[in-house]
């Protein structure tokens, strides 16, 4: 991804080959298999242990989206990005984006002495958007140009890393308080190796903390053991994605034949709520309340009268396969996550936490914010410990 220019595109191609839906968040069009850029770059780290990046909390008054800072170019130009485990590349706005990126900072190549244009353009269509709004067709789309320059994130310095400049984007991105997206898929292994760091990172979010710097944290090259008390429980990942295997879903300690089965679920730090295939979503909602109904104004979403929310128990527990010596374990989403807030056009109706997807199962911040998570690339596993802070 960011480790060498040739590998940057190769990683995206490989991820998409194994994840044809939104596990990789988007589909890259006509990526060349042998890009011209063949330079090998070395990332250096100014610290021997994990590198911490402070995160900010955002999404319309909730705590379902988090972002932090990185820098590009010489001299450095600063940007904020969502650190997204469901994406495979880095995208930030460029000055060519103009009015379409008016609310975001835009990278100016003419002001960087180390900038290199790699003369490759593509378009990406995202499988999930920012916040809890559903994806409809190509309403979350970017036009991109592949380039290279210095990148600094935490204490890691990449002298020449490949990334994409956003040259145009749909209006759905305009309200975002952050500038771009940095992918943290399992394809990041070479990035950590070149930096001399273990290929693992940790994520910590603090529910209901407000827009405070340091209310969340990304640790590159390790985990921050001060942020959790109970030992991490690990589950193997499959399909070259952050996909541990679910062994069953329970709602208020009940399950059904639809839910009590084995299937992989993608964990995505760039997604706010939860997306399941329709059969799974309906089975969960049927165990919570028959009054949760689809909202035809926003296909794929569901809701219930806002005054019903406090009366509904909606504890969702998902059992995951464990590593040898640990066995399976449950991750729980509490009732407090049932509502994502009122629909804009129907304020009496509150959106519930699960949207229907087109063929994939994905968990975002509705669960992740309740656990410290370790994302172990070389170990092909994810670790979880309850967030007690």
Asked whether residue 384 carries a pLDDT value surpassing 90, the answer given is yes
DSSP letter at 4? B
pLDDT of residue 21: 29
Q: Is 84 one of the catalytic residues?
A: yes
Instruction: Please tell me the distance from the alpha carbon of residue 243 to that of residue 287, in angstroms, as a whole number.
Output: 25
pLDDT given for residue 189 in this prediction: 87
Residue 249 β-bridge partners: 318
Peptide bond into 75 cis (omega under 30): yes
Least confidently predicted of 15-19, 210-214, 273-277, 363-367: 15-19
> According to the model, what pLDDT value does residue 13 have?
38
Distance CA 293, CA 217 (A): 36
Q: What is the mean pLDDT of residues 348-364?
A: 93
Token readout for 263 is: 């299937």
Query: In this prediction, what percent of the chain has a pLDDT beyond 90?
Result: 62
Strand partners, 340: none
301-322 tens-digit pLDDT = 999 999 999 999 999 999 999 9
Segment 152-157 shows an average pLDDT of 91
What pLDDT does 139 receive?
Answer: 63
H or E segment to which residue 363 belongs: strand 362-363
Active site residue 119: no
pLDDT-derived band at 56, boundaries 50, 70, 90 = confident
Banded pLDDT at 160 (limits 50, 70, 90): confident
- Is the pLDDT assigned to residue 6 strictly greater than 60? no
The overall average pLDDT reported for the chain is 83
Domains 5-220 and 225-386 fall in the same CATH topology: yes
Backbone conformation region of residue 265, classed left if phi is above 0, alpha if psi is from -120 to 50, else beta:
beta
Structure confidence at residue 389 (pLDDT) = 57
The pLDDT of residue 61 is 55
What pLDDT sits at residue 206? 82
Q: Considering 155, 176, 268, 376, which one is annotated as catalytic?
A: 268
* Catalytic hit among 84, 143, 176, 187: 84
- Mean pLDDT of the region 361-372: 94
Which of 65, 336, 85, 71 minimizes the C-alpha distance to 211? 65
User: What mean pLDDT do residues 75-101 have?
Assistant: 94
Q: Pick the residue with more confidence: 246 or 18?
A: 246
Q: What is the pTM of this model?
A: 0.85
Q: Where are the domains of the chain?
A: 5-220, 225-386
Residue 375: pLDDT above 50? yes
The CATH T-level fold of domain 5-220 is Cathepsin D, subunit A; domain 1 (2.40.70)
Average pLDDT over residues 3-7: 45
Kindly state the average pLDDT of the residues 280-284.
Answer: 97
Enter the tokens of residue 290. 């028959």
Sort 256 into a burial class: Cβ within 10 Å, 0-12 / 13-18 / 19+.
middle
50: pLDDT strictly greater than 60: no
Q: Determine the pLDDT at residue 59.
A: 57
CA distance 170 to 190: 32
Pairwise CA distance, residues 86 & 64, whole Å: 15
Beta bridge partners of 237: 244
- Between 137 and 147, whose confidence is greater? 147
CATH architecture of the domain with range 225-386? Beta Barrel (2.40)
pLDDT at position 178: 86
């Amino acid at each position: 991804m960011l480790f060498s220019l040739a590998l940057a595109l190769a990683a995206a191609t490989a991820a998409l080959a194994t994840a044809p839906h939104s596990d990789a968040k988007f589909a890259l069009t006509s990526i060349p298999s042998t890009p011209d850029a063949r330079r090998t770059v070395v990332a250096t780290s100014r610290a021997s242990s994990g590198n911490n990046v402070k995160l900010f909390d955002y999404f319309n008054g909730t705590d379902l989206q988090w972002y932090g800072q990185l820098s590009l170019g010489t001299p450095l130009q600063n940007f904020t990005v969502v650190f997204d485990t469901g994406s495979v590349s880095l995208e930030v706005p460029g000055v060519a984006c103009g009015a379409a990126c008016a609310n975001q900072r835009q990278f100016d190549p003419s002001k960087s002495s180390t900038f290199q244009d790699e003369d490759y353009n593509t378009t990406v269509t995202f499988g999930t958007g920012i916040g809890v709004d559903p994806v409809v067709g190509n309403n979350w789309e970017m036009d991109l140009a592949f380039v290279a320059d210095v990148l600094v994130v935490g204490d890691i310095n990449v002298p020449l890393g490949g990334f994409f400049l956003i040259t145009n984007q749909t209006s759905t991105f305009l309200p975002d308080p952050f500038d771009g997206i940095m992918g943290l898929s399992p394809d990041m292994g070479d990035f950590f190796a070149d930096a001399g760091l273990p290929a693992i990172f940790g994520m910590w979010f603090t529910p209901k903390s407000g827009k405070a710097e340091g209310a969340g944290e990304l640790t590159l090259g390790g985990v921050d053991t001060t942020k959790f008390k109970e030992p991490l429980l690990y589950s193997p990942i499959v399909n070259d994605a952050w996909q541990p295997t679910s062994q069953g879903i329970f709602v208020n300690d009940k399950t059904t034949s639809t839910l009590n089965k084995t299937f992989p679920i993608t964990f995505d730090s760039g997604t706010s709520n939860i997306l399941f295939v329709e059969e799974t979503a309906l089975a969960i909602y049927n165990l919570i309340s028959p009054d949760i109904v689809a909202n035809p104004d926003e296909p794929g979403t569901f809701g219930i009268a806002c005054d019903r929310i406090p009366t509904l128990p909606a504890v969702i527990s998902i059992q995951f396969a464990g590593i040898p010596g640990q066995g399976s374990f449950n991750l729980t989403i509490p009732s407090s996550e049932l509502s994502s807030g009122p629909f804009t056009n129907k304020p009496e109706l509150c959106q519930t936490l699960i949207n229907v997807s087109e063929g994939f199962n994905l968990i975002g911040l509705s669960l992740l914010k309740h656990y410290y998570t370790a994302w172990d690339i070389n170990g092909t596993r994810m670790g979880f410990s309850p967030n007690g802070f």
